[in-house]
Amino acid sequence: MTSLPACGLWAVLAFALWLPPAAAQEGFTVRVAPLADQKAVFATVESLDVVPARARIGGTVGRLAVRAGDRVEAGQVLAVVADQKPLLQLGALDAQLAGLRSALEQARADQARAETLFRQGSGPRVTMDQARTAVEVAVATIQARLAERGVVDQQIAEGAVLAPVQGRVLAVPLTDGSVVLPGDVLAQIAGQEAVLRLRVPERHAAFLRVGDRVRLDTEGRVAGPGFGTVTRVYPRIEDGRVVADATMAGLDAFFVGERVTVWIGTGARPGMVVPAGLLRTRFGLDYALVRRNGRPVETPVQRGRPTPSPEMPDGVEILSGLVAGDVLAAP
């Protein structure tokens, strides 16, 4: 049996300690693919819809039920605006209705008496017709007063300020006891759907397209690397910047108006990306196990910038040391 030199034995042992058993059966094939040149730009987390909750009647805020930061449902009562005038009108209408109902009872009694006398031949037909008309007038007057009372009831009900959408309360500029007019804003509510509002320098505007993928530096606040998609590019340049919107999951973890760093594509070039787990750093140098002639060979490589993607979250660009078609031993 042939013995191995001491240096060869140590190399075999080091390779055996690094390479898991599955690496002998699996591998990663290096390919050259277009890589997007990325640039970091600032974006703000903004709500797609910021809807004001307005008072529908004038009066005094009697009960304020929310504060900034609260989550509300659509139709939830945010505050109650009280006004004494509709209550006074309601009392006056109730008194009128009581008198009209009494008049209706008297008119119906007069109608019954006139009809009885007419059937007995003791009363004229004109008196009976007048009594019927008086009953109809009394009924119509009561219906009109009931309609007016319904209007006043609706005014009182409109004193409740309702949340127009589901979301978070951004600001409440009033307090209990504040006097408001019809149309005054009692709260600003941000809808549930949040977007990234990008502001891209105009020299990169030619590369920005709807459907492009962007990457957000989540800083651990969203599980995994955050990837989003550009959904709208506004056709106007403001202060030398192009404004665009991008959507992604997990934006609820950020504050509305918070500035974040987003990486966008500014062109493409050929490059190689491999999983960072296939590289090993030793004494400041990066190595990869490349299968050549049926056996793994440790090859030094030059690592580039991290290039994560949904398909390869730990992707890293390789600048040199590998060629297309190399098969890397997979851990």
Domain extents in the chain? 20-36+270-329, 39-49+191-267, 61-80+159-190, 84-154
Q: Which residue has the higher pLDDT, 123 or 6?
A: 123
Least confident span in 4-8, 24-28, 231-235: 4-8
Q: Is the pLDDT of residue 36 over 80?
A: no
Q: Is the pLDDT of residue 157 over 80?
A: no
Question: Quick check: 167 and 191 in contact, CB under 8 A?
Answer: yes
Using N-to-C axis directions, what is the helix angle for 125-157 and 84-120, rounded to 10°? 160
Would the CATH topology of 20-36+270-329 be identical to that of 61-80+159-190? no
Question: Quick check: 148 and 94 in contact, CB under 8 A?
Answer: no
Report the pLDDT value the prediction gives residue 176, as an integer from 0 to 100.
Answer: 84
Report the pLDDT value the prediction gives residue 217, as an integer from 0 to 100.
Answer: 74
Q: Is the pLDDT of residue 24 over 50?
A: no
Report the pLDDT value the prediction gives residue 20, as an integer from 0 to 100.
Answer: 41
From the list 109, 10, 34, 124, the residue with the least C-alpha distance to 317 is 34
First CA to last CA across the chain, in angstroms?
31
Please give the average per-residue pLDDT across 20-48, as a whole number.
Answer: 73
How far apart CA 4 and CA 10 sit, in angstroms, is: 10
> Quick one: CATH architecture of 61-80+159-190?
Beta Barrel (2.40)
Q: Is the pLDDT of residue 22 over 80?
A: no
Least confident span in 7-16, 120-129, 170-179: 7-16
Q: Is the pLDDT of residue 271 over 80?
A: yes
Q: Which residue has the higher pLDDT, 228 or 20?
A: 228
How far apart CA 146 and CA 90 sit, in angstroms, is: 10
The model's pTM: 0.52
Report the pLDDT value the prediction gives residue 26, as an integer from 0 to 100.
Answer: 56
Distances in whole angstroms, Cα of residue 255 to Cα of each of 169, 196, 219, 231 = 12, 12, 14, 21
Q: Is the pLDDT of residue 89 over 80?
A: no
Q: Which fold has domain 20-36+270-329?
A: 2.40.420
Please give the average per-residue pLDDT across 96-121, as a whole number.
Answer: 86
* pLDDT > 90: percent of the chain: 2
How far apart CA 50 and CA 160 sit, in angstroms, is: 20
How far apart CA 110 and CA 133 sit, in angstroms, is: 11
The class (CATH top level) of 39-49+191-267 is mainly beta
Strands 259-275 and 213-216: antiparallel
